[in-house]
Amino acid sequence: MCNSGYFVRSFFTVVVAGYCLSSDANAGDETKPPSAAPSATAQPTTPVQTSIEGLKEVKTESGLKYWDIKVGDGAAVEPGSKVTVHYSGWLTDGFLFDSSVQRGQPYTTSLNKVVKGWTEGIGSMKIGGKRRLEIPPGLGYGTRGNPPKIPPDATLIFDVELISAVAPPPQPKQMSVEGITPVTTPSGLKYWDLKVGDGPSPQPTSSVTVHYTGWLTDGTMFQSSVQQGQPITMPLNQFVQGWKEGVGSMKVGGKRRLEIPYELAYGEGGKPPTIPPKANLIFEVELISIKP
């Protein structure tokens, strides 16, 4: 999947063999799974859809349809889990557009970073199970499709085998700012120093290494390097304006709460589907190091 730390560019993009399974089909592709090396002696076998004759069809309120080809005997999947699956995907006319089975390598992703049809359909499976998913356009790529192989308003068919699932770590909680005097800058940014660092401050062109968690004002967490267990490193001048100002005045070793008005973040348009229009954002940022 793409480096999720680069939240100023795109959010929650997962790429499967070149086809974004996120709702943002135009987001970047930084870590697509490697294709299996071609064999000099044999061509890969094209997967065939498993027969669902005689199997019970389940249709959910969202419009997703699925058939349990095999019910798993392992643990149920928790929301946001990292799952490892083998899958093949077809259009309704039988065109195979992607397959980990054909590549000979299973695929691992987080369920909160894929199209809604996968989040719902795999999220109710058990480890060891195999399921046919019929995903309507609204739970897949919608009216845009994902050219060149997935047309607009395409219903997608997947056969998915759930190999393993790892529950996500607990979500970070916002630290209390009680008793800490907030600072409001002329731009409208507000911040609280949870811990004042004792190192140098970054320059406008410095690269900064940080741990961070971001929330909407209703408490919804939309991104966290802390939860992913890996800090991000990025030039300070590539962040949203609220980060440039708020992190730019920190010192290494410090930790700060930022309350960023939407004008200093993603503006009136937001960053769909995760950041709504005119969204004020809350971040807790730890400045680990800087590099000129």
> What percent of the chain stands above pLDDT 90?
77
Helix runs in 57-206, H state only:
100-103, 116-123
* Rounded Cα–Cα distance for residues 141 and 116 (Å): 9
Which residue, 234, 232, 247, is CA-closest to 207?
Answer: 234
The pLDDT of residue 65 is 98
> How do residues 110-156 score in pLDDT, each as one tens digit?
998 899 999 999 999 999 999 999 999 999 999 999 999 999 999 99
pLDDT band at 28 (very low <50, low <70, confident <90, very high): very low
Average pLDDT over residues 12-40: 40
Please state, in angstroms and rounded to a whole number, the distance separating the CA atoms of residues 286 and 288.
6
Please determine, for residue 55, whether its predicted confidence score (pLDDT) is greater than 60. Answer: yes
- At 43 the pLDDT is 63
What pLDDT is attached to residue 17? Answer: 39
The rounded distance, in Å, linking the Cα atoms of 262 and 281 is 7
| Spatial separation of the C-alpha atoms in residues 171 and 249, rounded to whole Å | 27
Q: Using DSSP, state whether 141 is helix, strand or coil.
A: coil
Which burial class, exposed, middle or buried, applies to 267 when counting CB atoms under 10 A from its CB (0-12, 13-18, 19+)?
middle
Which pLDDT score is estimated for 42?
58
Question: What is the pTM assigned to this prediction?
Answer: 0.59
Q: What angle do CA 216, 218, 224 make, to 5 degrees?
A: 40
Token digits for 7? 């939240």
N- to C-terminal Cα separation, the chain: 28
Percent of the chain with pLDDT over 70: 85
141, 115 contact by CB (below 8 A): yes
Q: pLDDT tens-digit profile of 228-241?
A: 889 999 999 999 99
Within 13 A of 46's CA, how many CA atoms are on the CB side?
5
